[in-house]
Amino acid sequence: MKVLLLGGTGEARELAQMLAGVEVVSSLAGRITDARLPAGQVRQGGFGGVEGLTDWLRTSDVDAVVDATHPFAATMTAHAATATRQLDIPLLVLRRPGWTAQPGDTWHRATTAAAAADLLPALGTRVFLTIGRQGLPAFQETGLWTLARCVEPPEPVPTWCELILDRGPYAVDGELALMRQQRIDVLVTKDSGGPQTSAKLVAARELGVPVVLIRRPPLPPGVEVVDSVDRVVEWVRSRR
């Protein structure tokens, strides 16, 4: 059996390790130059849209596709849904659960980065952005002091905000220290879920800092979705 594993997440690396006895090709988009590589075969770079992915799946004799991309990688998920439907190849989407508000949290939800930016003037004056580099331009015109944390620098490097380059996982003590030092009074993040970057939410709760949480994009209609690595392994093995 041959499986294309659309990766880039910790869950995808775990799956590549766990699917012993299955030929797995892990595909990484290539947006992070020093990405942590999974075990086994690795393919880096885009496919060239739906047509390129369809051609690759056909010529590579793939039996199934597992989408374990980031919950906000909507374009890749949509392409995978279209290509596998055209070729009648089984597709399973792995999405970790989103975060759940806890007592003491003050969360404001937004559907897009632009909508999140519109909320900020009423919430604070010193903003901490933890949304990745692609969504930063939506916040350029807020007029608020802004600290942005990214894994890699945006291109071009923004001059309208302070920039920190760092990669999780993060600890609560470190997030508390950073937010206190920078006098952060509003946090903006994506509802990525998982423990790797959740410490900032705990820190915001302890400091009484409001959070603007950007909602996940909707999944394509009709796709099969699970929320754990174990369920993906069961799904793959049931098709061997």
Q: What is the pLDDT of residues 95-135, one digit of tens each?
A: 999 999 999 999 999 999 999 999 999 999 999 999 999 99
Instruction: Say which residues have a Cβ less than 8 Å from residue 69's Cβ, sequence separation at least 6.
Output: 6, 7, 8, 9, 12, 29, 76, 77
Domains located in the chain, CATH noted: 2-95+218-237 (3.40.50.720), 107-214 (3.40.50.720)
Question: In angstroms, rounded to a whole number, what is the distance separating the alpha carbons of residues 195 and 189?
Answer: 14
pLDDT in tens, 3-61: 999 998 889 999 999 997 899 999 998 655 556 678 789 998 889 999 999 999 999 99
Please state which of the ranges 17-31, 45-59, 78-92, 170-184 shows the lowest mean pLDDT. 17-31
What local confidence, expressed as pLDDT, does residue 55 receive?
97
pTM of the model: 0.90
Q: What share of the chain is helix, strand, coil (3-state, %, to 5)?
A: 30, 20, 45
DSSP 168-226: S---HHHHHHHHHHTT--EEEEE---SSTTTHHHHHHHHHT--EEEEPPPPPPTT-EEE
